[in-house]
Structure 1
Amino acid sequence: MLSKLLRCGRRQLHTIVSREIIKPSSPTPSHFKTYNLSLFDQIAINAHVPIVAFYPNLDRSSHDKIKTLELKESLAKTLTQYYPFAGRLKKTDPTYVDCNDEGVEYIEARNNNSLSDFLQRSKHEDLDPLFPNDLMWCDPRIIRGDTEGVTCPLAVQVTQFACGGVAVASSLSHKVGDGRSFLNFIKHWATVTAKKDASPLNPQILHHQTIDCNLPEHLSGKSRVGCVTRSFLFSNEKLNDLKAKVTAMTTEAGQPIMNPTRVEALSWLLHNRATAAATENNSGTFMATGMRLPVDARDILAEKLMGTSMGNLCLAIEFATTNERDLEPHISIGEIRKQKVEFQSIQNLKTATEIVAQMSLETAFEKSKRIDTYYIYTSLCWFPAYDIDFGWGKPVKVTVGGTVKNTIVFDGIS
């Protein structure tokens, strides 16, 4: 296939080499042809989750064509177990996936940089060409107004660097899975590729009843238009100093937070500074903001779910910071911990679904209007991101591409 020039800038040339459709290696049974989306799936934003893993060339004798052939063959095998990913769903307001085995798009690309140079010199937006069809959170087809018809939940792009290093980037519709579902899939695919186990642990695919759900526009999708994304590195020394500061401040306030996690401490710090910046832009008048932190329901409910359970299985910690006192660490981190304890009292997924179903979307919308801006804090820390081994060793870096406006993603911390 004729190469297509995608990007040329900062000494970087990125070209598309080929495109093809990879279908499951065996057909989906007829009684699994319709996969109903749960209520949690339906209220998930209409976006694609983009994850990329980078691997150095450890085997100088390996042939690129052999490497990509193995990836395609193993992807076909893996899709037989994650069959909704190879189906089709409506571009807007889907309630089910048609598991018709039409397959996923698999793109091969090349970058003329070495992997080490790319990772050292690139800024976060330089990750964009690594992802298939610009599917990073927003779907450009929907932004253009193309909302008719159906789309595939999953797309994959494998980029070879000049040194032989590889980037494996995938984008999954948030309507069919959350971050843990997606990382489980990528790890499963990698395991099949490496032939460490011909039949790794099967995913638990929950077949839900369809629930009619008319979503307000503010929940139907998010865009990266007008966003700037940046990456920052916090050293262990600085993170430990921050945790110590949180403990000291909360102890002085009479409500000590002992052993704050890095995510808790960083979420507090970044929210504090984001609110201060918003207030400064508001002529110094305090800007009411809110915090949202997704929590994996698999591990937190009283009746634990399998770690391989597929779908959107997240609850959300959410609270408003409407005055300066709410920004103090004993208030905000204390609220995070309080709501986690409340989630632990929920018996099972059925009960959690009933709680969400009883919640009026109109009430939630009215609540959101009282807050000027919500900031979302999410983390890859406890997911198996650095266990994704395609037979080339563990990745040197795993991260997400782009972000949604006012979203902070932590990777590589715990």
Structure 2
Amino acid sequence: MADMQHSTVRVLEQTQVSPPPGSVPSTSLPLTFFDAPWLLCRPMQRLYFYEFPHPTHHFLHTILPSLKHSLSLTLRHFFPFSANLLCPPFPAKPHFFYTNGDSIRLTVVESPADFNHLMADYPRNVQELHPFVPNLPPARVVDGDTRVVPVMALQVSVFPNLGVCLGVTFSHVAADGRAFHHFMKSWASVCKTGAHDLTSIEKSIPFHDRAVVKDPNGLELIFLKEWWNWASTWKEGDSVISDQLADKVRATFDLGHSQIERLKHWVQNQCSDTTNLYTSTFVVTCALIWVCLVKSQQAFGETNNVSDRNFEKPCYLIFVADCRNRFELSIPFTYFGNCLALCFVSVKKSELLGVNGMVEAVKAIGNKVGELESGGLKGAEKWMLDWKTVAELGDYITVAGSQRLGIYETDFGWGRPKKSELVQIDVSGAISLAENREDKDGVEVGLALSRPNMDHFNSILEKSLRLSH
């Protein structure tokens, strides 16, 4: 949970939830090369807001017991979330270890905050959501120098007679977005039936066998060496000071299916040759937001002392691609863990700022998507090195989430979420993507920027959408 001095919550209960006793044997899970790049990634933080027009005592006595029981039943199949990440000193490898009784901390709080304001789309101070995000329990050290790191924490915030917010914090090393949402929708489905029907889980049991991830090129060792080098100078306690977020606001932008289709047609009309032009919803959405962000940041971040050389610098967009069900890898759709290819796209700043910036962005992103068709692991040995290089250059934007994960299908029996937020973008500066709540073929985009930058971004976005009509 966020620092209590900034919170608007009252703690009602804190408990530990584990799989049913004896249901999961002691298990050690190695990391694969898909997991290793995320070892230094900040925890993922997601909030789900649900309407719940009932008093707090009703939630505590009628809903909470089922929520905890269904979580326990679900963790039997998704046990890595209740396990710990063990990080022994070099040269031993980090791995997950579950033993009977390992659990997830669940905190229940009550808040008088304005529920409707918190889940609004308009710009709000980023720190307003932080009291509803759980903190992972602190790591501990055993056997002298092996760090034991909890993987997940949960928090339920009750807004009396208005709603409920479910907050989740988890380590990206344990799972990617598809695996995480598989867990969340399984838990929700079990809870919705009163924990009497496990059919939804039994029809889609997570696949935990790491042997299915083949590593003929030794990527795991390459990535672990990079991690060991970084870990020697990295301090876990490093965090963003609240003052650094004081001027930041977050806002949500909804792009409807018709708007996206018009953008696709507009881009196609600007190109003389569309033979190899990829204009998927993902490509067009990322291109639009990327260009608008670069233009906005140029106005507020580099208006002073800008030389022509700056405009020739590359700007980077970083996104991930799911490698499940790819023919060359044969990893099942229900594989639990990380199964993502890292994708780096670069375009000169001058091109993104130019009149054809949107077209150049679509071409670059589309080309990278096209390359994935010939193999998602092409150039994988350079993933961590490329990330480090791009991070040092500074001009990059990452994409988090996806419009294909069915985030708004997570129904615990209280209806679909009214809003979901990816909170870590407050710090990372990433673009968050989800399906549009009101238009399943549309996209919901989340951003966290300084207030002046957000206002300017919104103006540029509206202008860009008008031009595509």
> Cα 1:67–1:26, aligned 2, differ >3 Å: closer, same or farther?
same
Q: Hey, what's the Cα distance between the residues in 2 that align with 1:360 and 1:112? A: 45
Paired residue for 2:103?
103
Deviation of the 1:59 alpha carbon: 7.0
Q: How many residues align?
A: 390
In the alignment, is residue 384 of structure 1 matched against residue 406 of structure 2? Answer: yes
Q: CA deviation at 1:110?
A: 0.7
1:346-357 equivalences in 2 (<5 Å)? 346=375, 352=377, 356=380
2:290 match: secondary structure = helix
Asked if residue 397 in structure 1 is aligned to residue 393 in structure 2, the reply is no
Measured after TM superposition, the shift of residue 254 of structure 1 is: 4.1
Pick closer, same or farther for the CA change 1:48–1:92 going to 2, 3 Å: farther
Partner of 1:39: 33
Q: Deviations over 1:269-326 (max 9, x none)?
A: 3322333424734623324321111112225555564332111111122122235236
| Aligned twin of 1:266 | 285
**Residues 61-140 of structure 1 correspond to what in structure 2 (within 5 A)?**
62-90=58-86, 95-100=94-99, 101-113=101-113, 115-120=115-120, 123-133=125-135
Deviation of the 1:410 alpha carbon: 1.8
Q: How does 1:99-248 map to 2 (within 5 A)?
A: 99-100=98-99, 101-113=101-113, 115-120=115-120, 123-133=125-135, 149-195=147-193, 197-199=197-199, 200=201, 201-208=204-211, 211-212=220-221, 213-214=224-225, 215=227, 216-217=229-230, 224-225=240-241, 226-227=244-245, 228-236=248-256, 239=260, 241-248=262-269
Equivalent AA in structure 2 for residue 39 of structure 1: F
- Of stretches 183-192 and 212-221 in structure 1, the one that deviates more from structure 2 is 212-221
> How much does 1:259 deviate?
8.0
Unaligned runs of 5+ in 1: none
For the residues of structure 2 that align with 1:304 and 1:389, how far apart are their CA atoms?
31
User: Which whole-Å deviations, capped at 9, do the CAs of 1:197-243 have from their partners, x for residues lacking one?
Assistant: 32422111132589441225399789555353521324536555544
Question: 2:260 and 2:421 mapped to 1: Cα distance?
Answer: 20
Comparing 70-79 with 335-344, greater Cα deviation is found at 335-344
> Compared with structure 1, are the counterparts of its residues 148 and 302 closer, same or farther at alpha carbon in structure 2 (3 Å cutoff)?
closer
1:343 aligns with 2:372: yes
For residues 313 and 329 of structure 1, what CA distance do their matches in structure 2 show? 30
Q: Distance in 2 between matches of 1:408 and 1:372?
A: 16
Aligned counterpart in structure 2 of residue 55 of structure 1, from 50, 59, 63: 50
TM-score, scaled relative to structure 1: 0.80
| Secondary structure of the structure 2 residue equivalent to 1:217 | helix
Matched to 1:390, the amino acid is: F
Unaligned runs of 5+ in 2: 437-441, 444-469
Look up the match of 1:27: 22
**Which TM-score applies when normalising by structure 2?**
0.72
In 2, are the aligned partners of 1:113 and 1:161 still within 8 Å (CA)? yes
Contact 2:49–2:119, Cα closer than 8 Å, also in 1: no
CA distance in 1, matches of 2:6, 2:389: 45
Superposed CA RMSD in Å reads: 3.6
Instruction: Work out whether residues 314 and 346 of structure 2, in 8 Å CA contact, stay in contact via their aligned partners in 1.
Output: yes
Q: Give the 3 Å change call, closer, same or farther, for CA 244–307 of structure 1 in structure 2.
A: same
Q: How many angstroms apart in 2 are the aligned matches of 1:62 and 1:99? A: 34
Counterpart secondary structure, 2:375: coil
Aligned to 1:321: 347
Structure 1 CA distance for aligned equivalents of residues 51 and 417 of structure 2: 8
Give 1:370 deviation, angstroms: 7.7
The question of whether the paired residues in 2 share the 8 Å contact of 1:246 and 1:257 is answered with no
Name the CA distance, whole Å, in 2 between partners of 1:289 and 1:178: 25
